Amino acid sequence: MERSRAKRSFKDQYLIAYNALSCVLWFGVLGRTILLLPLVGHENVYGGVGEYTKLTQTLALLEIVHIVLGLLRSSLFTTIVQVSSRILLVWGVANLFEAPQESLAYSTMLIAWSITEVYRYSYYVTNILGRTPGFLTWLRYNTFFVLYPLGAGSEAVCIFRALSEAKEFNINYYYFLVAVLLTYPPGLYKQYTHMISQRRKNIRGKKRQN
């Protein structure tokens, strides 16, 4: 029993540290993006936050590892899809092509992502500690109505703006990006219905219990 408790304690400490670090990093993305927009214009936001965002998003690959190792109970497939799609955006779209870098959609994408991640990781930390404030639960299960379409729409615009450059870069990569773009409508629908289901469980369910 003592060993089991020690393992759980170590796991919780690690997850608290990981989620807290991720929250701080995404807060940095949000702060930089908001500050840079009026100072340098959306055309130059990538130059001030692009590298930082790539590193921050790449850290999320650990979430796949966490599930594989049993540290988290979540859908491995869903997590792989969500993380890999963002990795594609930061490394395979914005990193390679100028058009998405200069688009306002790049900035709105980062704002939607970072707001979502700041309260998501904060929610995870407080949930492990057993002290989740009501406002975090509300944010977690309500703001997706606005942030999901903003984020997904911005992602789609970034990919669309990259297509002409991708065609010159590699025709097979161009068709790959076209195929990815076609997955957005059903993908957004699936995300929406999943979060609506989670909202019923975590908000309406708690109200009934109270």
Q: Which residues are catalytic?
A: 148, 155
Q: How far is it, in rounded angstroms, from Cα 47 to Cα 41?
A: 11
CA distance readout (Å), 188 to 28, 119, 149: 26, 20, 7
The 3-state DSSP class for residue 95 equals: coil
Q: How far is it, in rounded angstroms, from Cα 95 to Cα 175?
A: 18
Residue type, 1: M
Matching residue, tokens 């304690």: 9
Q: Is the dihedral of CA 199, 201, 202, 203 positive or negative?
A: positive
Whether residue 115 contacts residue 147, with contact meaning beta carbons closer than 8 Å, is answered with yes
